[in-house]
Structure 1
């Protein structure tokens, strides 16, 4: 235990960048470090709060900066902190898998996490309006046309232009002019000099307690730089996430103004988790009704920002003809899979049961073409059929060939086989990597072209509608990060850390892959639109929409 205590103090001192005698007090104080209970511990702060609320004088949990592997407990007096220390220090907690509680008196409260201020272009202005202005604006919103549109636990209305949540784009026709109450707000914003273009679109959301909005980046092709959000009635916590996985929680108080420009607007995604409480200043706070006013300037020309992975204007720019990849398909699909091929292959071993059953049920001698075969996961099933793999990643082809499979290089947009050749064609997790509707249709056309009459096509694509507890998508065209540990694939990168902080300290290379996630019925509709194809079965498997179709 002596070594464990010394190591815990060493970790805290390292992160605080101070000597131990500057941090720790031999005498009781109101503040105590709780070691090994930071964000990487697997124990939520809500659980920590609930546990320590049973101790006399406990006031709150303070979260140090930068997701550090410890927390700070604040008590009303040094005496109540001392009482808690005497009861709990070096004890274990059954419901936390016998995790040991290590408490150290702190000389003072550490600085709280305000690192979100490092997000370039993010500006938060508290008390931008007065309580009287807040009430007036809310009353005007309630009494003004148009009427509210009801969504899931929130109501929305638009002025200037309507944002269509089904297409994730602005409808082109102008609707109601901006309401008079917005003029004063816009004038005050423009005087700040933080945004260049005067907003001409307003969206008002009324959030009921428990409501949220999925994480998203405001559509590049629809709006210019400068997204402005004014909060009314109550506070909430908004999450900001960088494509490399770094994230911050930002408290938006009532009457505060949030301005997103540059990276904050174009690169970082933002969203509000759907929950009924927020952790604010170390205490659980129940949400109340909240109103947000979002002002934006509708774009008149394509976006030319440098953040290509998030820019739908750039993503949809084709290169050459329909038989050639778009820029996004080259840079964020082909190049990425060549880069991550060994790591990707290590995570792809066992065939999914339904696909395996489909292949095992084929008649002996069937000729099967797997387009997008990757490391050959499905080429090793059913020895009684003939299987040919195909992929555009040369690195994955090398891996599959090393396993003894027959695999060729090809692009799904132009498959180098004669028409009506194969009994069965597989497309597992491929079509969702094409960035335009034309390319998704072209890919499906090629799959059906090489299929013989009477042959069957099996297609799997990622689903927009995920299972409970799985990831949620705020839009259909997304970038999905692939995290590859530097330690595992670049052993000379840096030395190993001690076990307590190893998980927290590991560094990752993050690679972004493009996906178009399909809504229910979308894949079926595309396949049914192909000449001579009849959909025999539509299903949902492993968070994918699936279709089995027959060629007439």
Structure 2
């Protein structure tokens, strides 16, 4: 048996270990959340590691806390790993502080445990605030159908093969179409090819009610039924303007869920859709805001009366975790027969067809452009690209070295990771769209993962700093660039900073020329002009002719073209000019050539070869050139985009070697 001194020594070590973890939790909350703990006893406690963000639900936490006394108020902020509680007396709070800190808790519905760390706090903002305002034009009508109608509708869905109606089994849900099939390849319907049978008769009562109560102007002729199992969802999207009329109405049956709405400026609203409720989207909420369902098994929702604690409401409402069930949605739409003339031309595919030819006509075209001229290109040139990216830029290094020791930093679009190893005093993690570049980071023993900068799968408010170096200019619409900026802001904790670099239209600024901008007289083109005996005007005409070949020739014509300069051109998206490297930009939306060195490996083919419509071609026979899409920023454009976000302020903006740069701080 252990003697008394050994027991005391063991207890002392355990107390020291607990105290160390409590102090760590205190510093983390102060640094990342601005929550200041105090060394004396109060009625208020902060519970680190016990919040909605790490799986603790309100009912379970309430039951744990009430053991020690009367809980007057409980604040569980959404997506945060901590909670705040107010006891009726200081003595009750002291008892909870003494017995709960270091206590292991097995989470309900999850096969894992957490350890709670408790500290006293002086002030908590318990006052009520208004709930988030719904997007304009959005309505949620609860109990629109009865439980009997819900049962009838669900029982009449035939999920077996149906010759008359389109049945689709997607990765994240089951889908069935009536009236017209919605084609996910082009996000539209074939208006000249309706499905036989029309809409099910069992929907007539629901549709008549919608018409009588003014939720639809005319009877819908298209129905999509989606079935979501727990953990399934649907990506954020806007229903194609040219495909459907204004009103979109959707019944939620079987289970409730949370649908996320997002404005292009970064504003987000999480909307609860109860069972048997009707969602109505018109106007701005239908045409401008994206809507989607995040794939997860639990939602942060408003607590029921039984789950609420005390009479004082928190500043984010009485929130808890709700386990998802199987939800089925009936979404009714009216197929559009004339072009859309809504008030949102920047996101309207009908109206963008008449816009400037240099910009993509729709989000779908933007995605295709980026896939072909950003994602695929970097995947093919990754090795050669990495070999040219080895020296960190001084001002970026300066930004990183000014961060406090131990800062958590995200490099969004990290490439080969040349900034991930700048300082051992920082904990840096990178992500990139290119798998090959991420593999190169792994070879260097850097932490990096694959993802799109539009949607980084990391919790909000988690980073002390972010950097985005030469990434945002690869997004081909203003909305997508704005969404990427908003994603950076989301990742930052309050007070966190982001450094952003994008290519500048102005390669010469304040009489200083970018080191990447060569004197035209020494360029390869000028030497070719001299050899050919051409005047400058003749040479320019020849270059224009070559650019027109690129846009006009078919793939077969291009493969047969003998002209050396045009042989270097790959098939590119028409209407976008090809930039001449190391010269001034003449357009904001351009394709920039990447000349692959002889012998460089191309991903997707043997080293030293490229692929064409005629089969493999040796590099000695044809020069390898890939075209990357860029939107180069004019002076003030990046700052103006950043100012659209209400939760950040610009600390600094500057021009650095042909780049516009900003440093942001999250408010």
Q: Distance in 1 between matches of 2:119 and 2:57?
A: 15
* Unmatched 5+ stretches in structure 2: 1-22, 36-40, 105-112, 303-318, 367-380, 391-469, 474-501, 521-540, 547-562, 580-589, 597-619, 631-639, 655-663
Superposition pairs of residues 339-488 of structure 1, within 5 angstroms: 353-357=383-387, 394-396=505-507, 401-406=513-518, 416=543, 419=546, 420=563, 422=565, 438-439=574-575, 454-460=622-628, 483=642, 486-488=649-651
- 3-state SS of 1:244 partner: coil
- In the alignment, is residue 290 of structure 1 matched against residue 327 of structure 2? yes
- In the alignment, is residue 174 of structure 1 matched against residue 181 of structure 2? no
Structure 1 residue 182, shift from structure 2 partner: 1.3
Cα 1:102/1:113, change in 2 over 3 Å: farther
Q: Please, which of 161, 168, 182 is the counterpart of residue 163 of structure 1?
A: 182
Cα 1:61/1:440, change in 2 over 3 Å: farther
Instruction: Point out the structure with max Rg over C-alpha.
Output: 2
- In the alignment, is residue 244 of structure 1 matched against residue 265 of structure 2? yes
- In the alignment, is residue 82 of structure 1 matched against residue 93 of structure 2? yes
- In the alignment, is residue 139 of structure 1 matched against residue 155 of structure 2? yes
- Asked if the contact 1:33/1:70 (under 8 Å) is kept, the reply is no
- Asked if the contact 2:650/2:665 (under 8 Å) is kept, the reply is no
- 3-state SS of 1:182 partner: helix
CA deviations over 1:416-466 (Å, ceiling 9, x no partner): 456446599699xx96xxxxx6547999x9999x9997222224579xxxx
Q: Distance in 2 between matches of 1:228 and 1:291?
A: 14
Structure 1 residue 395, shift from structure 2 partner: 2.3
* Unmatched 5+ stretches in structure 1: 14-25, 334-350, 361-373, 378-390, 409-413, 432-436, 463-480, 492-501, 506-552
CA deviations over 1:133-185 (Å, ceiling 9, x no partner): 11011112238863632111421111111101122111221113011111111
Q: Distance in 2 between matches of 1:415 and 1:205?
A: 55
CA deviations over 1:164-219 (Å, ceiling 9, x no partner): 11221112211130111111111111222244333211100011121100011111
Superposition pairs of residues 52-71 of structure 1, within 5 angstroms: 53=61, 55-57=64-66, 62=75
- In the alignment, is residue 198 of structure 1 matched against residue 219 of structure 2? yes
- Asked if the contact 1:160/1:202 (under 8 Å) is kept, the reply is yes
- Asked if the contact 1:203/1:293 (under 8 Å) is kept, the reply is yes
- Asked if the contact 2:50/2:83 (under 8 Å) is kept, the reply is no
TM-score (norm 2): 0.46
Q: Distance in 1 between matches of 2:153 and 2:82?
A: 40
- Asked if the contact 1:62/1:74 (under 8 Å) is kept, the reply is yes
Cα 1:279/1:415, change in 2 over 3 Å: farther
TM-score (norm 1): 0.55
- 3-state SS of 1:186 partner: helix
CA deviations over 1:64-120 (Å, ceiling 9, x no partner): 7xx899986468987997367534999999x9999984545779x644763142x11
Partner of 1:325: 358
Q: Distance in 2 between matches of 1:327 and 1:456?
A: 26
Cα 1:439/1:169, change in 2 over 3 Å: farther
Cα 1:208/1:50, change in 2 over 3 Å: closer
Name the count of aligned residue pairs: 384
Partner of 2:15: none
- Asked if the contact 2:57/2:321 (under 8 Å) is kept, the reply is no
- In the alignment, is residue 154 of structure 1 matched against residue 173 of structure 2? yes
Q: Distance in 2 between matches of 1:292 and 1:231?
A: 5
- In the alignment, is residue 259 of structure 1 matched against residue 284 of structure 2? no
Q: Distance in 2 between matches of 1:483 and 1:100?
A: 38
- 3-state SS of 1:55 partner: helix
**What's the RMSD between the two structures over aligned residues?**
5.5
Q: Distance in 2 between matches of 1:258 and 1:208?
A: 20
Q: Distance in 1 between matches of 2:92 and 2:171?
A: 44
- 3-state SS of 1:305 partner: coil
- 3-state SS of 1:215 partner: strand
Cα 1:212/1:77, change in 2 over 3 Å: farther
- 3-state SS of 1:46 partner: helix
